[in-house]
Amino acid sequence: MKTTILLIRHGETAWNLDHRLQGHSDIALNETGRRQAEALARALSTAALDAVIASDLQRAQQTALAVAGRHKLPVFSDKRLRERCFGGFEGLLHGEIRQRYPDQYAAWKARDIDAVMPRGERVAESFRQFYARSVTAILHWAQQYSGQTIAVVAHGGVLECLYRAAAGMALDSPREFLIKNASINRFSFADGKLCLIQWGNVEHLTGPVGDELA
């Protein structure tokens, strides 16, 4: 049976605006992000959702609660859906990271998938570790709700991982696709095969209803 996965990135945060690396840092939505979450909830109000699952970080929870509220569904929290942990990089701007950790920054930008950032408040993880965590979590929920439709609210890195899994992209290949806040990305999962149906839908964030929030 085919499971439909609506994979959603959380709404905007102040750190998104500043291009400050968030990772596991628990940052709330800003005003624009809250409005994006409401526009997203309106857009999905007629969708036949069977479950809403989200990262336990509050920016994902706030976005998921807006969607779930329209359907009178609970939000299931799964910490495996968190953004990649960047260790000592978290909370810093890209320029600050480059200056403070030049070698580790260079490895990150070169897409060394086994490189690990310096430890900060938390222990960082490699992209390979993060990819395995993210994809395993989403496919777990797809199997739990086999033949149904689920909304999964997560983070930009998690969306990247599932895109790569569906497209069969090498983990160290350049990322040449956009990942937008509050975007709807549709996948199907059946017979062990993950397929990408639609990517980066933000129509709900533009025009009279969305008030140009994209």
- If you ran DSSP here, which 8-state letter would residue 183 be given? -
Instruction: Over range 99-105, report the average pLDDT.
Output: 96
- If you ran DSSP here, which 8-state letter would residue 147 be given? T
Which pTM value belongs to this model?
A: 0.95
pLDDT in tens, 172-200: 999 999 999 999 999 999 999 999 999 99
Contact between 74 and 68 under an 8 Å Cβ cutoff? The reply is: yes
DSSP 23-54: TT--PPB-HHHHHHHHHHHHHTTTS--SEEEE
Instruction: Give the residue numbers annotated as catalytic, written as ranges.
Output: 10, 83
pLDDT in tens, 106-146: 999 999 999 999 999 999 999 999 999 999 999 999 999 99
Owner of token pair 């810093």: 92
The pLDDT of residue 210 is above 70: no
Instruction: Over range 145-164, report the average pLDDT.
Output: 98
The region, left, alpha or beta by phi > 0 then psi within -120 to 50, assigned to residue 169 is: beta
The pLDDT, as a whole number, for residue 77 is 98
Extended beta strands in the chain, E state: 3-9, 51-54, 75-77, 149-154, 184-190, 193-201
- Residue 163 CA to residue 11 CA, distance in Å, equals 19
Residue 209 pLDDT grade (very low, low, confident, very high; cuts 50, 70, 90): very low
3-state secondary structure of 59: helix
Residue 29 is which amino acid?
A: L
Greatest C-alpha distance within the chain: 51
